[in-house]
Structure formats: structure tokens, C-alpha cells
């Protein structure tokens, strides 16, 4: 085989990376691939940002391709390093940090930017767009300090942002220049029904309002409107549209109108340079929805792989609103216009509305509210352009017009043609899903892994479940069971029991014996299996470092600029002048940019270079604080009776004893403890995974607390008299959690799932409690600080050889 060609992708988003995925499938050995992303993240699902904001997902859950995937596929990835120059003569790109990469083929997939209204005051603090994960985090942070939010824009994105802010506890007003919502996706009756539903959820609306200015000092504090009225607001989100990000292409001399002009094969005006996604303009249209962008990516991938393909001819689009409790769907040309005729049915009692638009006996558009189950079949007919003459009432009613009962969901699915699209986000047809089921996919997770159906917004999951029940082997009518990931249909309990019963002792052995669909596993199941094996066989199992996340392998938290954060263990928040001097000396020697006190009473060295990690740990000569691990993180303490006039017990001593007892303990999720010296609770013990509160003559133990995005007050587990009892109950509780919780499940979710009474019933049995405590003691007796291994092992130290500072290569 000849030398690989060089393929460079500018933009690590959904459209560009979908193209790369297709290229890898069609021609896995054709290209040496380099990807530049402006954001400090791997490729993630931008469609799910509203779910992140609303608390339904976190960053890990919306990542499409994790960092290990890039490494496994030999892709060189630069995150947080935007390309600033394309030299089409020398066929190379130059990044912000100065990295240069030559190319034979270049894909420009720079996406779009939020359109920010040029209003007076638009540059004030507290005014943001809604386009990426950083915007989500800004809104989450703002919701902790401020209470009144204004969202400018009553379209798809604006309503999703507003619903997320409502979930965060803010008072939310939506300002829209039109007289009804989502005018690009809905007709007026459906929009009015939508507004009533959202008002019932707590959202406020100012319709037909034109914003004239943003008022305030350094930070915005409200809006002023063209009619002279005003609105108080501490946070202002602009969601009025997007514009293709074409600055880079323009400076490189590519032809640009609204977007980067491309032909039917996504080629720009410069040979060897392609554009795909929201930045591209095809036949005068720049698309902002994901399905057309994936269609473009499929055509471009075939072109790059040398596979014969017809050109991209444009897309008919459909839209769903991703707001909890609201079902909205629209597709095609749904507004009344000359030459069209429309039919509609509305049920205000049930809260449903359906409209279809016909032209020349063809279905050209549809709007659904309240019940969107017919969306996929209607969209398929719109795209096919088939005649629906004589079937109009059947399409509108969902069952034959001559009478009879409405078809069941299963009957509707069975009647669908194989080429009808089920997953619009990923362009997956009914036939593709049915074939996957017949080929052995037995869960929604496995279907997602094989076909990507339900892998984006999740709106098609009920249809995927229905097809699985309809065409699966004996599963019709039964609940659809998903495994711990798409590699297996087995759940946590089945896996753990199989490991125990069959004495399986390695990740590979588990996957082989339990017949994993994907023989190498994935980033979800490998860390889980590694944990379960270590939990079950503490004396025999050798921890598999390659099955841990990168942070745990390097024993430091990677930051957005590619540097690392080092946190030494500081027991109970108590340190000494000697340790402080040692930390200061290391920070000076290695030019650590920032030294910060954390919320858990520790010291964080931020901005450490990867190659300096082993030397820094060796010179600190302090245990790791495991700020990166699914392990005991901190034990926060107040000064207690040692100094405080209100303290009833020695909280410092208790905290240090707990931290020294349970440091290095691997757990399903991260664990934080705290000890307060009196009921004033200065150490915030009642929002920790386990909190200890001193009372007169004893201690109260609280469990299942969480101080994160979803705050949960801990439950009182027990009251004990002695420090020895505190240690025994804590050991038993932590071991019971270790043995029963799902991988990546925090104690707050675990306690809610299994119930406090179940946990109490086990731990109140002295024999059970002591047996659990003995098992955790056995595990702890075999753990050492992993940094000792790295410092003393030349082979492990090779993992930390220096890299160019702007480059993040995973592996």
C-alpha cells in the first residue's frame, strides 16, 4: 500500500466528525487524519445542549466520540486550538498556537456563530448566546447568583434555553418579535397551544416586542423595548438565529456568500478544499439542522473515499422541540400558500393538533402538537413525493377514513416502508434498524451502537423500542432491557454475579466469556469492568490501567488548555508549615501558573505540564488527593471542639482519621466526606456522600448528600456514641455502596434508587455491618498510592514524555 494521504478537518463538530467517521468505514487506511477544534472538548452532541442545561445530561453523556476513540483510530486531535490561517497555495493550515499541518484534502467545518443583536449594551457582562457547552456552564453559574432571566428569541433554540433556565430555578421571560412562537416551524394555532403549555410550566412571554437596548452598568440589569416599556433581568440570552462562520474561509480566498459556496459534492471554489455543515452554502441554502448536515457528510465521505456517489441535492427538513413534556413536530412547507390546500384537526381537551398541507396531490408539509407519533411516516411521504390522492383523511386521522379503530403503534410501525426514516438526526431508516435487530441487536443501546438511531436528540427512542419489540426474537410486549452499554445486553447485577460465579479475573476474560458484541469494549464498559473486578477480587486482581480514564491514568485533572491540575492530599484540611514550604518550592521551581485553595480545603496546583507530573509528585513527596478519581476525594472539617466555643467533639481528629482510613479506596463514583463539630454544620456535612455531625455525647451520620447541580440533602442513617462506631458504620456503608452501586453512580442516586430503609436494614445488623467493614479493610490493606509506582517505574514514566505544548494527543 502506498503512503497515506493527509486529511485535515478544521472544526471538531458534528458535521465534520460524521464525515470522518464515514471515511474511516469506507477507506480506513486511505488517510492520515488531523482534527483541529476550537473548543477544549472532544466531539459532542450539540443537539443535547438543552438537555445539559435542563439537568438531564452531563458533558460525559453528550460526548459522541471520546478521546480514546480518536487515539484508537489514529487521529491526531488538537483541542482548544482553532485554525487561524489556510494557505491554499502551500496546502497547509496554521493554528492559533502555531501548529502547522499539511493536507492533501481539507474539510472546513467551522459551523456557525450565534447572531448577537447589535443593541446598545450588548457587550455588557451577563449577555450571552446559546451555542456551546461553555454557554451552558455560564447559564448554570448565573442561576446560582441571579434569579431573573430574559431570553430574546421565541424560536426553537430560545425556547430550549428558556426551559433549561426554568429548570435551574430562574424566573424566565421570553421576548419574541413576532406575534406567535416558532413561526418558522409552526402555524399560529399550534404555536398558541405551545405557548399555553409553556406558560403552565412557568414560562412568561412578551410577544410582538422589539428590544431597543440592554440597560445596566458593567453588568446588564434589564431590557428596554421600542414601545417604551422595560423588563428587569440579571441574565440575558440571545437566541435569535445563527450565521455561518466563514471568516477563516473568506481570508483564505474561498468563494463566500452567506456561507462557503459548495457544489453538489461539497467542493469549494478551491480544488482539494471542501466545506460541510452549517458553514456551507449549497444551492443558496445554509442549513442549521443536523439531518441535512449528516446527508452532506455522507456524500463528502464517499467522494473522499473514492466510492461512486450521486451528489447532494438538498434536504427537506423536519423539526422537533426538545422540551420536557411538550411534543412538537413540523416538516416541509406547512404554511397555507396559493396552490396548496390544508387539512387540520384540533382537540383542545386532549391538547392535540395536526395539520397536513397538500399540493398537486402530494403531501408537502405537516405540523403536529401533543401527539407526534405520525411524524416519521408523514415526513417519509413528504420526502418521497408520492401521490396521496384519496388518502388525505387517512393521513390526517391516522386510521382509515371509512371507520374502525385507530391503528395501534405496532401496526403503524409494521405498515411503514423500510426506507422510511426513523431517526431524522442520523438518517437511519426503518429497514436499517430492523436488519440490526435481526442481526442480533437485542437492546436499544445495541441498536444505537450499531446504527446511531436514538443517539442524538433521543426523540425517536419510542419508535426504536417499538421496532425492537415488533421484530425482536420473542421480546414483543416485554420491557426493552438495555445493558450497561451498547457492547452487551447484560446489566450490572448480571455481570457482577457472572464474574463471581465463574471466577472471571480479567476484563478480556469477562468480555470473551460473556460474549461482548464489541470484543474490545468501549469507554463505558471497560472502566466499569475494571472496577467490578477490583471490588470482587481485591487480593488477586491487578488493576488494568488502560481501562481507566486519562485523568486517572495520569493522576491529575486535564484542563481545557491541555495542562494538568495537581492536588496533594491534605488530611482534614490541616497542613503544616513544612508542607506549605514544600508546595511553594515545587510551584516556584516548575513555574506553576496558579496555586488555589479548593472548596474541599485543599491546595490545587493548576497549569502543570504533562511531562512535569512525575517530578512534581516526587518532589512533593505527598500522597495524591485523588481529585481526578472515582475514590475518596476529601474529608472537609470545621475546627470543632479543638478551638471553637460551640464545638462539642473533635471534628478535626475525626476527619483526619476518616481520611487516613479510606484514602485510595476505589468507589463506583467520587466520594466526599465531611465532619462538623456541632449542629451548626460549618463543614456542610449534610450535603456530602457521607457526613458526620457532632452532637452532645455522640455523632450523627448522614448519607446520600450531593452539593452539585442537583442538590440533595443527606438522610440521617444513624446516631452513635463513640468514634469507633463512626469508623465501623462508615466502613460498612462505603463497602455496601461499593458492592451494590452501578459504575459511575454517586451515592445520592444510589440511596434514592435502593431506598434508605434497605440500607439501614443491612447496616443495623451487627454481623452484616462487621462483615462489610472487614471486607473494606481487606481491600484497603492491599492499596498503595499509585504515584509511588509511577515515580519508581521507568516504564510508566515514559507515559509522561513531553509533547508540543499546543497538542493534545490521546493514548
Distance from C-alpha of 150 to C-alpha of 236, rounded to nearest angstrom: 5
Chain centre distance of CA 494: 27
State the cell numbers at 496.
457482577
Task: Give the helix ranges, DSSP H, for 168-324.
Answer: 188-200, 247-251, 290-305
Q: 490, 497, 531, 536: which is closest to 511 by C-alpha?
A: 490
User: Is 644 a known ligand-binding residue?
Assistant: yes
Terminal CA-CA length for the chain: 25
* Alpha carbon 609 to chain centroid, angstroms: 27
Rounded CA separation 806/78 (Å): 7
Contacts of 724 (CB under 8 A, 6+ apart): none
Q: Give the C-alpha distances (Å, rounded to integers) separating 84 from 6, 81, 151, 247, 712.
A: 19, 9, 32, 9, 45
- Cα-only R_g, the chain: 29
Q: Is 487 annotated as a binding residue?
A: no
Contacts of 663 (CB under 8 A, 6+ apart): 569, 623, 626, 631, 632
Tell me whether residue 682 is annotated as binding. Answer: yes
**Assigned C-alpha cell, 787:** 504515584
- Residue 763 near residue 736, CB atoms below 8 Å: yes
- DSSP lists the bridge partners of residue 230 as 224
Q: Look at residues 34, 437, 365, 417 and name the one whose alpha carbon lies nearest to residue 187.
A: 365
What is the C-alpha to C-alpha distance for residues 138 and 549, in angstroms, rounded to an integer?
A: 26
Where do we find the cell 463497602? 735
User: What are phi and psi for residue 750, nearest 5 degrees?
Assistant: -65, -45
List residues bridging with 365 in a β-sheet: 332, 357
How does DSSP classify residue 481? P
Using CA atoms, how far apart are residues 663 and 626, in angstroms rounded to an integer? 8
248 burial (CB, 10 Å; 0-12 / 13-18 / 19+) is buried
Is 485 annotated to bind a ligand? Reply is no
Provide the sign of the torsion angle of the four alpha carbons 665, 667, 672, 677, taken in this order: negative
Binding site for siroheme, by residue number, is: 682
Binding site, by residue number, is: 638, 644, 678, 682
Binding site for [4Fe-4S] cluster, by residue number, is: 638, 644, 678, 682
Amino acid at each position: 500500500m502506498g503512503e497515506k494521504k493527509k486529511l485535515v478537518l478544521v472544526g471538531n463538530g458534528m458535521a465534520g466528525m460524521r464525515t470522518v467517521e464515514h471515511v474511516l468505514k469506507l477507506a480506513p487506511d486511505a488517510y492520515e487524519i488531523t482534527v483541529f477544534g476550537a473548543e477544549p472538548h472532544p466531539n459532542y452532541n450539540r443537539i443535547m445542549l438543552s438537555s445539559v442545561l435542563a439537568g438531564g445530561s452531563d458533558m460525559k453523556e453528550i460526548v459522541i466520540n471520546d478521546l480514546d476513540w480518536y487515539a484508537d483510530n489514529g487521529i491526531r486531535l488538537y483541542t482548544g486550538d482553532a485554525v487561524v490561517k489556510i494557505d491554499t497555495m502551500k496546502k497547509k493550515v496554521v493554528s492559533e498556537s502555531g501548529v502547522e499541518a499539511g493536507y492533501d484534502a481539507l474539510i472546513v467545518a467551522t459551523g456557525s456563530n450565534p447572531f448577537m443583536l447589535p443593541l446598545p449594551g450588548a457587550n455588557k457582562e451577563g449577555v450571552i448566546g446559546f451555542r456551546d457547552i461553555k454557554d451552558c456552564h455560564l447559564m448554570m453559574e448565573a442561576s446560582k447568583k441571579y434569579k431573573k432571566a430574559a431570553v430574546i428569541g421565541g424560536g426553537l433554540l430560545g425556547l430550549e434555553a428558556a426551559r433549561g433556565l426554568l429548570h435551574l430555578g430562574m424566573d424566565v421571560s421570553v421576548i419574541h418579535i413576532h406575534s406567535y412562537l416558532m413561526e418558522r416551524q409552526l402555524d399560529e394555532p399550534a404555536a398558541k397551544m405551545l405557548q399555553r403549555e409553556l406558560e403552565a410550566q412557568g414560562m412568561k412571554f412578551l410577544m410582538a416586542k422589539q428590544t431597543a437596548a440592554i440597560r445596566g452598568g458593567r453588568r446588564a440589569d434589564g431590557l428596554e423595548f421600542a414601545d417604551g416599556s422595560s423588563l428587569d433581568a440579571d441574565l440575558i440570552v440571545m437566541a435569535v438565529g445563527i450565521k455561518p462562520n466563514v471568516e477563516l474561509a473568506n481570508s483564505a480566498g474561498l468563494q463566500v456568500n452567506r456561507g462557503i459556496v459548495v457544489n453538489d459534492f461539497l467542493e469549494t471554489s478551491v480544488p482539494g478544499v471542501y466545506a460541510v455543515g452549517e458553514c456551507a452554502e449549497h444551492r443558496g441554502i445554509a442549513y442549521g439542522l443536523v439531518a441535512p448536515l449528516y446527508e452532506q457528510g455522507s456524500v463528502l465521505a464517499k467522494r473522499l473515499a473514492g466510492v461512486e456517489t450521486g451528489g447532494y441535492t438538498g434536504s427537506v427538513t423536519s423539526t422537533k422541540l426538545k422540551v420536557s413534556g411538550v411534543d412538537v413536530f413540523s416538516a416541509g412547507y406547512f404554511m397555507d400558500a396559493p396552490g396548496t390546500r390544508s387539512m387540520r384537526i384540533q382537540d383542545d381537551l386532549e391538547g392535540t393538533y395536526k395539520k397536513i398541507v397538500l399540493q398537486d396531490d402530494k403531501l408537502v408539509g405537516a405540523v403536529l402538537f401533543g401527539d407526534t407519533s405520525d411524524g416519521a411516516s408523514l415526513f417519509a411521504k413528504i420526502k418521497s413525493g408520492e401521490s396521496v390522492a384519496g388518502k388525505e383523511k387517512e393521513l390526517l386521522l391516522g386510521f382509515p377514513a371509512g371507520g374502525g379503530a385507530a391503528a395501534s403503534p405496532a401496526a403503524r410501525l409494521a405498515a411503514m416502508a423500510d426506507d422510511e426514516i426513523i431517526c431524522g438526526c442520523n438518517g437511519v431508516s426503518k429497514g436499517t434498524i430492523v436488519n440490526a435487530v435481526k442481526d442480533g441487536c437485542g437492546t436499544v443501546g445495541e441498536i444505537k451502537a450499531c446504527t446511531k438511531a436514538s443517539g442524538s436528540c433521543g426523540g425517536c427512542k419510542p419508535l426504536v423500542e417499538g421496532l425492537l419489540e415488533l421484530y425482536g426474537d420473542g421480546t414483543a410486549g416485554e420491557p426493552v432491557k438495555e445493558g450497561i452499554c451498547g457492547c452487551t445486553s447484560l446489566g450490572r447485577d448480571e455481570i457482577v454475579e457472572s464474574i463471581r460465579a465463574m471466577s472471571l479475573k480479567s476484563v478480556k476474560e469477562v468480555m470473551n466469556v460473556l460474549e461482548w458484541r464489541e470484543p474490545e469494549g468501549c469507554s463505558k464498559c471497560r472502566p466499569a469492568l475494571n472496577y467490578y473486578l477490583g471490588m470482587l477480587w481485591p487480593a488477586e486482581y491487578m488493576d488494568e490501567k488502560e481501562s481507566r480514564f486519562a485523568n486517572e491514568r495520569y493522576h491529575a485533572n486535564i484542563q481545557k488548555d491541555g495542562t494538568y491540575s495537581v492536588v496533594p492530599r491534605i488530611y482534614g484540611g490541616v497542613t503544616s508549615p513544612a508542607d506549605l514550604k514544600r508546595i511553594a518550592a515545587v510551584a516556584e521551581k516548575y513555574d506553576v501558573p496558579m496555586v488555589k485553595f479548593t472548596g474541599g480545603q485543599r491546595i490545587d496546583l493548576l497549569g502543570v505540564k504533562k511531562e512535569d507530573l512525575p517530578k512534581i509528585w516526587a518532589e512533593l513527596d505527598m500522597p495524591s488527593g485523588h481529585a481526578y478519581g472515582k475514590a475518596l476525594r476529601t474529608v472537609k472539617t470545621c475546627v470543632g471542639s479543638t478551638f471553637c466555643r460551640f464545638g462539642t467533639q473533635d471534628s478535626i481528629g475525626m476527619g483526619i482519621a476518616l481520611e487516613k482510613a479510606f484514602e485510595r479506596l476505589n468507589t463506583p463514583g467520587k466520594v466526599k466526606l465531611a465532619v462538623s463539630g456541632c449542629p451548626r454544620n460549618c463543614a456542610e456535612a449534610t450535603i456530602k456522600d457521607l457526613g458526620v455531625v457532632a452532637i452532645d455525647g455522640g455523632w450523627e451520620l448522614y448519607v446520600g448528600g450531593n452539593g452539585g447541580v442537583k442538590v440533595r440533602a443527606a438522610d440521617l442513617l444513624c446516631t452513635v456514641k463513640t468514634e469507633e462506631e463512626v469508623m465501623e458504620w462508615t466502613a460498612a456503608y462505603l463497602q455496601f455502596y461499593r458492592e451494590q452501586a452501578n459504575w459511575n453512580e454517586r451515592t445520592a442516586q444510589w440511596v434514592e434508587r435502593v431506598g434508605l430503609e434497605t440500607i439501614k436494614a443491612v447496616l443495623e445488623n451487627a454481623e452484616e455491618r462487621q462483615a462489610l467493614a472487614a471486607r473494606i479493610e481487606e481491600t484497603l490493606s492491599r492499596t498503595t498510592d499509585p504515584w509511588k509506582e509511577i515515580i519508581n517505574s521507568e516504564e510508566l514514566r515514559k507515559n509522561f514524555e513531553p509533547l508540543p505544548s499546543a497538542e493534545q494527543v490521546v493514548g
